[in-house]
Chains A and B, each alone.
Chain A
Amino acid sequence: MNAPEKILKPWTKPSLSPHRVGVMNKFGAVRQHHHQDEVDGVAIEPLLEQYGSPLFILSEKTLRENARRLRRAFATRWPKVRHGWSYKTNYLNAVCSILHQEGSWAEVVSDFEYHKARALGVPGSRIIFNGPWKPSAILEQAAREGAQIHLDHLDEIYALEQVAKGLNKKVAVGIRLNFDTGYTESWSRFGFNLESGAAMDAAQRIASSEWLNLTGLHSHIGTFILDVRAYAAQARIMAEFMEKVEAETACQIEYLDVGGGFASRNALQGVYLPPDQLVPSFDQYAEAITGALLEATRARSAAGQPLPTLILETGRAMVDDAEILVTRVVGGKRLPDGRRAAILDAGVNLLFTAFWYNHEVKPLRPLDGIPEETVLYGPLCMNIDIVRSSVMLPPLNVGDALMVRPAGAYNNTQWMQFIQYRPAVVMVTQAGKVEVVRAAERLSAINDFERLPESLRVPFPQGLPE
């Protein structure tokens, strides 16, 4: 009689984890590493097979839901609200077009972004034009097309005045303000300072111009602002300045643009609490801003004067959680201090925000083994290429796929063509279809812009020693 065949056990990477005292999170909120293998019901692994790894995946559904939540939060609290989509946050045409379909204007800060908005069919009259440098050609186009131009400094007032004169057209403008809210560091490099009197000087200069008409005030108090009281202070200060400008000049302020800066559900490095406990909701931001505005404009309302339109330029909080980056493990090693390291096929060339966020990292399938501290490196031959300097993950094998999220804000605009090709970006549509919204780069994407002089076209001329 034959002996029964021995059943072999499955192999997982051997792991050894030291027990450490004093590293418990007293709030008990450990970021979970449950796996996730789909986006809006579409399996991710087949997408990696088809489009390659790494891969950015956008969710149309999440983006539209975010746009609607923002609108609902503010429109239920203030009579006139407008959103300008911050192109620099993510100017993939698909992202911009979804937000325009949801009613957002384009908020641009350069001639390139202005051209991009126009190429998408956005009329000039629905473009908010910010930024410290607006070259004369684009300034003229914006003035001609009725864009909402926000002036940043005195020279720009004079430049636009010349443009308006040349067009023989009185141009409506806004001015960017900077001031101390008491909660955030003042971004004094942009716009006119309020406390020094420069902002009122600018308002009076414009009010006296034959060619310009001051109709709006703009400010942007910072980025990733977690304290909603900063926005309440901003709204109050801007509303008070509006009253002062209208009292001292003949200008009628039609809008207050509070800029962007709402935090997304991402984890800033050096911040102890997880984003779920820290990041305010759109409703909390809306309550702070509109509450302060209602208070500051009470006399205006009582006098029957029109209330200004409230403009938001929310970027990061709109798109960050609508996109993920999926990457594969390409190698692993032990560092001299015993920590485990994994090398991924995506690094800071694609995930620029890894410099300031601890992104959430989830495997696509359940991984066996005890989680241990792991360093995630990118593929660049550069020491700075670290996706996560410390994350608890089970043992990783070559080929394992990881999801890095949220990745929708600033990565598709600040990514670098550096050492590696940039990968495809696909979008899962509301209908559950998968569309390529940006093809993966090929060599021609870089080489087509280069010109090689005739004399350099033979790499190894005859006669060179071997």
Chain B
Amino acid sequence: MTRQTLDFPNVESLKRLALSESGFIFDPVTGNSFTVNHTGLALLQLIRQTLDVGQITKRLQAEFVIDASVAERDVSEFAGLLKVNFQ
């Protein structure tokens, strides 16, 4: 069964990030910068809009070739990565 919510970092801390279309991220609070790949960028933009995993998965499937179970797994892992870097 798909979980409805994940333990994402604070949405406000994600919303403050400056994102470029090429995958460059700048965090104005810490001064750190990052590179995301194209799926990471898509996911980050989705997470800034909603924390509902079902919604995120559905929208990813509308954009990419991906199974729901793989999407849930990868979203879960990416959420952990965001927490480490932007909490």
Of A337, A338, A369, the residue contacting B37 (CB under 8 A) is A369
Q: How far does the Cβ of A268 sit from chain B's closest Cβ, in whole Å?
A: 31
Question: In the docked arrangement, what's the CA distance between A17 and B23, Å?
Answer: 10
- Say yes or no: A13-B39 contact (C-beta < 8 A), given A18-B34, A19-B34: yes
- Per-residue A-contact encoding for B59-87, CB less than 8 Å = 1, 0 else: 01011111000110010011011101100
Q: What residue of chain A has the Cβ atom nearest to residue B75's Cβ?
A: A14
Q: What residue of chain B has the Cβ atom nearest to residue A15's Cβ?
A: B37
Question: In the docked arrangement, what's the CA distance between A17 and B84, Å?
Answer: 12
- Say yes or no: A14-B64 contact (C-beta < 8 A), given A334-B77, A338-B84, A338-B85: no
Question: In the docked arrangement, what's the CA distance between A163 and B45, Å?
Answer: 82
Q: How far does the Cβ of B75 sit from chain A's closest Cβ, in whole Å?
A: 8
Question: In the docked arrangement, what's the CA distance between A15 and B84, Å?
Answer: 13
B35 within 8 A of A: yes
- B35 contacts across to A, CB distance below 8 A: 16-17, 19, 370
B32 within 8 A of A: yes
- Size range of the interface on B? 20 to 34
Q: What residue of chain A has the Cβ atom nearest to residue B25's Cβ?
A: A16
Q: What residue of chain B has the Cβ atom nearest to residue A337's Cβ?
A: B84
- A456 contacts across to B, CB distance below 8 A: none
Of A9, A336, A369, A395, the residue contacting B65 (CB under 8 A) is A9
A272 within 8 A of B: no
Tell me whether B64 and A338 are in contact (CB under 8 A): no
Tell me whether A15 and B33 are in contact (CB under 8 A): no
- B80 contacts across to A, CB distance below 8 A: 334, 338
- B51 contacts across to A, CB distance below 8 A: none
Q: What residue of chain B has the Cβ atom nearest to residue A368's Cβ?
A: B37
Tell me whether A16 and B33 are in contact (CB under 8 A): no
- Most chain A beta-carbon neighbours within 10 Å: one of B32, B62, B77: B77
Question: In the docked arrangement, what's the CA distance between A14 and B85, Å?
Answer: 15
Tell me whether B37 and A14 are in contact (CB under 8 A): yes
- Size range of the interface on A? 20 to 34
Of A11, A18, A333, A395, the residue contacting B32 (CB under 8 A) is A18
- A6 contacts across to B, CB distance below 8 A: 62
- A370 contacts across to B, CB distance below 8 A: 35, 37
Question: In the docked arrangement, what's the CA distance between A332 and B74, Å?
Answer: 10
Q: How far does the Cβ of A397 sit from chain B's closest Cβ, in whole Å?
A: 9
Q: How far does the Cβ of B68 sit from chain A's closest Cβ, in whole Å?
A: 12
Tell me whether A19 and B64 are in contact (CB under 8 A): no
B43 within 8 A of A: yes
Tell me whether A8 and B64 are in contact (CB under 8 A): yes
- Most chain B beta-carbon neighbours within 10 Å: one of A11, A13, A336, A395: A11
- Per-residue A-contact encoding for B23-40, CB less than 8 Å = 1, 0 else: 001000000111111111
Question: In the docked arrangement, what's the CA distance between A334 and B43, Å?
Answer: 17
Tell me whether A338 and B81 are in contact (CB under 8 A): yes
- Per-residue B-contact encoding for A19-42, CB less than 8 Å = 1, 0 else: 100000000000000000000000
Tell me whether B34 and A13 are in contact (CB under 8 A): no
Question: In the docked arrangement, what's the CA distance between A18 and B84, Å?
Answer: 11
Tell me whether B85 and A12 are in contact (CB under 8 A): no
- A14 contacts across to B, CB distance below 8 A: 36-37, 39-40, 42-43, 74, 77-78
Tell me whether B34 and A17 are in contact (CB under 8 A): yes
Question: In the docked arrangement, what's the CA distance between A325 and B68, Å?
Answer: 34
> What are 17 A-B contacts with C-beta separation under 8 Å?
A8-B63, A9-B63, A10-B64, A11-B74, A12-B37, A13-B77, A14-B43, A14-B78, A16-B25, A16-B78, A19-B33, A332-B77, A334-B81, A336-B84, A337-B84, A338-B84, A368-B37
Chain B interface residues toward A at CB < 8 A: 25, 32-40, 42-43, 60, 62-66, 70-71, 74, 77-78, 80-82, 84-85
10 more A-B residue pairs beyond the given contacts A11-B60, A15-B36, A17-B34, with a C-beta to C-beta distance below 8 A: A6-B62, A12-B37, A13-B74, A14-B39, A16-B25, A16-B40, A17-B36, A18-B32, A18-B33, A18-B85
Chain A interface residues toward B at CB < 8 A: 6, 8-19, 332-334, 336-338, 368-370, 395
